[in-house]
């Protein structure tokens, strides 16, 4: 099976929505080039923005390979259910919006709301992401609902806001209000975290593998024999590499909260 390569012709004047541009086994370069996309308030054919050709695929999965700076291109991989999308460069907002399967790989950075309300699949970002990653759309009660996100750099504010399920790993720092109103899932941080972390957290697990966070008064020590639970959690995160690789050998402190919201979430602070 061949993959389809899309090389950006020139930076667009306005923002472009890539919603509906998804890999498929029966999709060829000609059909892909005819797909309509929204450029500002006008609809244009995808082929007007990209040179499209077929290249050798690395596996049997339908794939799209984007080359160029896509920082003005939003909704990359929105509602992706299968296949793979790779980007050699940056991407815009809403990457992986409500995706349910497949994989998205960025070797650059991404904008706001990465993995917003995703329910399955995996997103890998080599560099940084903006605010509200793994969060919810405005007015929605549910954030990320499943799948996995791995961020090689830093994350902005409100990371994992209202997160309900899945795993998010950040090798760098995270901004303010990280894991605010979190309902469930696992969030692992390798760097520093901003103010008001865990605000209104209901359940879910935060693992601090890097800098020790300032523990709010609304998170209380919960020191019981948690060695088995910690080993299972640490070993599952070890495959992300970096500072997470040696977690199983470290002794954590555990805190529970946010008790001000009746929460039963947990913080694991690796020693």
pLDDT-above-70 percentage for the chain:
100
Dihedral over alpha carbons 81, 86, 90, 96 (to 10 degrees): 10
CB atoms within 10 A of CB 217: 8
Any residues with CB less than 8 A from the CB of 84 and at least 6 apart, and which? 23, 61, 62, 63, 64, 102, 103, 104, 105
The string of pLDDT tens digits covering residues 70-129 is 999 999 999 999 999 999 999 999 999 999 999 999 999 999 999 999 999 999 999 999
For the entire predicted model, the pTM comes to: 0.96
Q: Which two tokens stand for residue 98?
A: 């409500």
Give me the domains of the chain, ranges plus CATH numbers: 65-270 (2.160.20.60)
């Amino acid at each position: 099976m061949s993959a389809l390569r899309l090389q950006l012709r020139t930076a667009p004047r306005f923002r472009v929505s890539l919603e509906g541009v998804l890999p498929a086994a029966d999709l060829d370069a000609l059909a892909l080039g005819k797909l309509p996309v929204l450029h500002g308030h006008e609809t244009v054919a995808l082929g007007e923005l990209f040179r499209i050709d077929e290249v050798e695929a690395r596996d049997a999965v339908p794939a799209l390979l984007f080359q160029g700076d896509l920082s003005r291109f939003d909704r990359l991989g929105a509602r992706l259910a299968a296949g793979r999308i790779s980007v050699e460069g940056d991407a815009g907002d809403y990457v992986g919006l409500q995706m349910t399967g497949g994989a998205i790989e960025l070797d650059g950075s991404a904008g706001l709301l990465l993995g917003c309300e995703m329910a399955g699949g995996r997103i890998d970002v080599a560099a940084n992401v903006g605010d509200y990653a793994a969060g919810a759309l405005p007015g929605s009660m549910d954030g990320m609902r499943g799948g996995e996100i791995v961020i090689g750099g830093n994350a902005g504010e409100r990371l994992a806001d209202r997160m309900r399920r899945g795993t998010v790993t950040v090798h760098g720092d995270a901004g303010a209000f990280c894991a605010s109103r979190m309902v469930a899932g696992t969030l692992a941080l390798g760097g520093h975290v901003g103010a008001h972390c865990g605000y209104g957290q209901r359940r879910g697990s935060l693992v601090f593998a890097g800098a020790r966070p300032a523990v709010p008064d609304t998170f209380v020590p919960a020191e019981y024999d948690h060695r088995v639970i910690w080993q299972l959690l640490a070993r599952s995160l070890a495959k992300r590499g970096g500072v997470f690789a040696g977690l199983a050998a470290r002794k954590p402190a555990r805190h529970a909260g946010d008790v001000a919201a009746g929460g039963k979430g947990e913080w694991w602070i690796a020693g």
